[in-house]
Amino acid sequence: MGALAIGALAIGRLVIGRSRIRRLEIDELVVGSLHVTESLTAPSTPAVENIGVKKQQSGRFNQPTMVDRAINKLFGLLVGLGLGLPHNYLLQVRGRKSGRIYSIPVDVLDRDGKRYLVAPRGYTQWVRNAIASGTVSLKKGRRFEEFGIRLLSDDEKPEILKSYLDRYKLTVQRYFPVPAGSPTEAFRPLTGEYPVFELLPPR
């Protein structure tokens, strides 16, 4: 029995050790990541032009819970199959370190003929990856579109944040300290907390 106990202990330590090594191999954590697809091309050159990029990247990050991740994964699978509302898409962005493609479901805001991505959780890994690569893709069923991106300055954000919260309040209200329907000025003190990208035609 003594030998069996020692053997079981050794196996347990080996499993734990391998688990820790596996964690170290994962170079980035993407919020609500659904799947990772190996890329055959090298990461593209950063293309986001905004003098406030480095300052903005130091903002907050609202960490998702295990429940949030499970919901994102399930919903993302449905959107990837082509289901969901017209504004629901699967965002795909290249990892700034690994070069892999990461996916997460998003709500795309159409406003005044332009399209925007808002990150209600703040400066998540997908936001940092998007800034580094300068491009993102939107997928829904068989539809696939690639875009350049422009990171909005804080002065440009209040009206976009208001439109985003007013339109998608059922799913994103919990990420904002002001209620949907608040005046535009109520969002001005919050602009540094929420990255906003304008989607641009690919170069």
C-alpha to C-alpha distance for 5 and 155, rounded to whole angstroms: 65
Whether the pLDDT of residue 167 is over 50: the answer is yes
What pLDDT is attached to residue 62?
67
CA triple 122-127-130, angle to 5 deg: 165
pLDDT digits (tens, 9 = 90+) for 147-165: 999 999 999 999 999 999 9
* 80: alpha, beta or left? (left if phi > 0; alpha if psi -120 to 50): alpha
Residue 103 reports pLDDT greater than 80: yes
Residue extents of the structural domains in the chain? 31-200
> Which of 124, 139, 133 minimizes the C-alpha distance to 94?
133
Whole-number average pLDDT of the chain: 79
Q: Which tokens belong to 124?
A: 């998540």
Cβ–Cβ under 8 Å, residues 158 and 185: yes
Does residue 131 have a pLDDT over 80? yes
Q: Which pLDDT score, from 0 to 100, does residue 48 have? A: 57
Q: How many CB atoms lie within 10 A of CB 98?
A: 16
173 pLDDT above the threshold of 80: yes
Q: What is the pLDDT of residues 44-80, one digit of tens each?
A: 444 455 444 554 555 676 677 787 788 778 878 888 8
Q: What percent of the chain has pLDDT over 70?
A: 70
Residue 101 CB burial class (10 angstroms; 0-12, 13-18, ≥19): middle
Q: How far apart are CA 165 and CA 178, in angstroms?
A: 9
Across-strand partners of 187?
none
Claim: this prediction has a pTM higher than 0.85: no
Q: What is the pLDDT of residue 156?
A: 98
Give the separation between CA 173 and CA 89, rounded to whole angstroms.
Answer: 19
d(CA 55, CA 98): 24
Given a cut of 90, is residue 8 above it in pLDDT? Answer: no
Give CATH superfamily name and number for 31-200: Electron Transport, Fmn-binding Protein; Chain A (2.30.110.10)
